[in-house]
Chains A and B, each alone.
Chain A
Amino acid sequence: MSGAPVPLTLFRFVRFPLTHVDFMTDATATMAFDAALAQRMKVLRKLRLNDMFFAALTRAAAYFVLLLLGAVFISLIFGGREAAMKFGLGFLSSQSWNPVTENFGGLAPIYGTIVTSFIAMLIAVPVGLGIAIFLTETCPPVLRRPIGTAVELLAGIPSIIYGIWGLFVFAPFLQRTLQPTLIDAFANIPVLNTLFAGPPYGIGMLTASFILAIMVLPFITAVARDVFDTVPPMLKEAAYGVGCTRWEVVSSIVVPYTRVGIIGGVMLALGRALGETMAVTFVIGNAHKIAPSLFAPGTTISATIANEFTEAVGDVYTSSLILLGLILFVITFIVLALARLLLYRLEKQGGTK
C-alpha cells in the first residue's frame, strides 16, 4: 500500500490527518499519510462489512415472508387437493354442504364473504372518511384529541368482544327496531321487499355487515386522518383564499392529493373485513344457504372454518374446509391485485394531467 499512488477521490476522506502533517517534511508526511489511510481503509472496510451484513439480514427477513407465504399456499393446495379432485370446479358453484353424504360446495360461504365485506365497506368508507375529514378540517382543537383517541381505541377492541356485543346487544336491538321497520316499509316495493324479507331473526348477513363496518372503521379513519394531515397547508390556504368552500377544498384538494393513501387504508380495511372470523361467527347465523334477503342467516369462509374445523370428521370434510381457506387466500390476493392496478392507473392519470 505504501508508496502506491493514492486515488484522488480518497483525499476527501482523509482531511483530518492533513491538518496534523502540514508542518512535517515530505517523507514523514507521506508515511504518516499512508498509515492514516490504511487505518481509514480498515474502518471503511469494517463499515462496508457491517452494511453488507445489515442488508443481508433485511433481505433474509423479506425473503422469509415470501417463503412463509409460499409454504402456506402450498400446504393449502396440498390439504385441499382431495376435495378439489373430488368436486372440481363444481365446488365453486355448489351450495350444498352436507357432512352426512360428504357432498360439499363452497358457494354459500364465498357469497357470504364477498357480500358482507362489500356492505361493510359501503357503510364504513363514507363514515370513516367523514370522521377523518371532520378531525382534520373542521374539528375544534379541544375535541380533536378525544375523538381521535376514541377511534384508535375502537381498533384495539378484540373481535370476540364485538361478537359478544353484537349477539347480546346489537342483534336483539335490530330485531326489535330496524328489521321490522324495514320489512314493513319495503313490503310493497319490488326488489327491496326480497332484499329485506323476514322473519327478523336479529342476526344475519346485514347484522354481520354492520359489525364488520364498525370494526374496520378505525382503520379507514386512522389512515385517512394521517394522510389528510400531509396535505400542504399552502394548497388549502390558497384554495380558501380564492373563495372555495370547505366542501370544495376537501373534494378538489384534500381527497385528490391523498387518494393513494386513502385507497391504501380502504384496502387494509377490506382485507380485515374479508378475513374477520370471530365477530362474524357470532352474528351471521352460520347457515350454508344463499338467501336473497339480507336478514337471512348466511355464513362466510372464515366463519365456516372456525366453526367446523375442530369437529370435522373424515378426510373429505377436512379437505373441503382447507380448500375454502385456499379460496379465501385467492380472493384476498385478487382484491389486493385489483387495488394495485387501481393505484397504478390513478398514478398514470395523475402524471398526464
Chain B
Amino acid sequence: MRTTLITFARGALAAAAVAGSVSLALAADISGAGASFPYPIYTKWADAYKKETNIGLNYQSIGSGGGIKQIQAKTVTFGASDAPLKGEQLEKDGLIQFPMVMGGVVPVVNLDGIAPGALILDGDTLAKIFLGTITKWDDAAIAKLNPGTKLPSQAIAVVRRSDGSGTTAVFTNYLAEVNGDFKTKVGTSTAVEWPVGIGAKGNEGVANNVQQTKGSIGYVEYAYAKQNKLAHTRMINKAGKTVDPSLASFSAAAGNAEWAKVPGFAIVLTNQPGDGSWPITAATFILMHKKAQDAEASKTALKFFDWAYKNGGKAAEDLDYVPMPKNVVELVEAEWKKILGADGKPVM
C-alpha cells in the first residue's frame, strides 16, 4: 500500500513536471483558427518555421465562420477567413485584415469521353447550369461554346457544397457577377439556397461525388481537382479569352487587382480583367485585433507571417497555392503598423 502511494506520488510529480513543460512550450506557440482551405499550407509553413525558430503554430481548421467567431471572442491570436470581411465590419470589431495566400476555384465535370480541360464554359452558362435553367449536357448554349465536341444527351447532375464554405462564397460571387438572375435569385454567401443539385460536405465530398456520379458538374479548390485528377473545365474570362486553371492564370488575376484602394484588402478576385486571368480566383485572409491583447503573441504571429511571405512561396506552389505578389506584401506589412500593444506603440 505504502509503496503504491509513493509510486503514485512520484507519478503525479512527474506528470506535473511534464504538464509544466508542455504549458511553457504552448505559451510560445502561435494560436490561430479558421478557414480549412489554407490549412495544408499553414501547417507546411509551420513545420518549416518550427525547425528554424522552434516556435510552433497551433492552427484549428474549423472553418471561416468559426475563425471569425474566435477572433471576435479573442480566444486566438489570429483568425483566418476565405471570404473577406467588409471594411465597416472590420472597423466595428477593431480588426485588421490582410491576404495571406491565393488559390483558384475550378468547375469539374464527369462526362464520358470528356478529358480534363476539354470542355469550355463561360460564366453565364455556368451560372445557368447552377440555377437549373440548363439541364442537359447537349444544351445549345454548351454546344455553341464547344463546337466539335460530342456532348451526351444526359441530365446534368449539379454537385455543390452542403456546408458553409469560403469556396462557395468565391464561386457564388463569380456567378452573381456574371449573371443577374443568379444575383437576385441565389445571391452570394458562404452558404446559399441552391435551386438544384446534390450537396456534399467539403471539397473532398464534392470531388468524391463528382467522381461517383456520371453527368455531374461541381466546383472545388484547384488543388483538389489536380490531386484527384478530376476533369476540370476551361473558362472564358472577362477579356473573352479561354484560359486553363493554373498558378499562372491565378497570379494573372491577382496582378490586375487594385489592392490599395479597398479597406482590409477585401477583394474577391473574380472576373478580373486581363487576357490570362482565371475568372474564379480568391485570396484567403488573416484577421487580427488592432489592439493586441498580448503584444508579444501578436508580434510572434506577425513574424511568422513575414517569414511565410518571404520564404514560403516555393512550399505554397508545391501545394498549388499562389503566393501573394511582392507589391501586395509591401502594402500588407505597412498595414501591420496599425497593430498596437498596450503601450500604444506598434508591436512590430
Contact = CB atoms under 8 A, between A and B. Distances in A.
A202 B198 CA distance: 11
9 contacts: A96-B193, A99-B191, A100-B193, A172-B213, A308-B163, A308-B164, A310-B66, A311-B63, A313-B191
Interface in B201-243: 201, 205, 208-209, 212-215
B114 interface: no
A99 B65 CA distance: 13
Interface residues on B, range: 20 to 34
Interface string A274-291: 000000011001111000
Given A286-B162, A286-B200, A313-B65, A308 B213 contact: no
A37 to B, nearest CB: 36
Contacts of A168: 208, 212
A311 B164 contact: yes
Interface residues of A, number: 32
Nearest to B198: A285
B212 A172 contact: yes
Contacts of A202: 212-213
A171 B194 CA distance: 22
A287 B197 contact: yes
A305 B198 CA distance: 16
A237 B47 CA distance: 73
Contacts of B198: 201, 203, 285-287, 297
B193 A99 contact: yes
Contacts, number: 96
Interface string A86-120: 00000000001111110000000000000000000
A96 B201 CA distance: 20
Contacts of A311: 63-66, 163-165, 190-191
A202 B209 CA distance: 10
B199 to A, nearest CB: 3
Nearest to B83: A313
B68 interface: yes
Task: Specify the main secondary structure of chain B where it touches its partner.
Answer: loop
A98 B164 contact: no
Could you say which of A171, A299, A307 has the most chain B C-beta atoms within 10 Å of its C-beta? Answer: A307
Nearest to B66: A310
B193 A307 contact: no
B197 A310 contact: no
A312 interface: yes
Contacts of A282: 205
A79 B122 CA distance: 43
Interface string A286-325: 1110000000010100000011101111000100000000
A282 B198 CA distance: 10
Given A171-B213, A297-B197, 9 more contacts: A100-B193, A201-B213, A282-B205, A286-B200, A307-B162, A311-B165, A313-B68, A313-B164, A313-B190
A184 to B, nearest CB: 15
Contact of B199 (A98, A99, A307): A307
Nearest to A313: B65
Contacts of B64: 311
Nearest to B69: A313
Given A98-B192, A98-B193, A202-B213, A310 B199 contact: no
Contacts of A312: 65, 164, 191
A299 B192 CA distance: 15
Nearest to A97: B193
Contacts of B197: 287, 297
Interface string A31-72: 000000000000000000000000000000000000000000
A167 interface: yes
Interface string A155-178: 000000000000110011001000
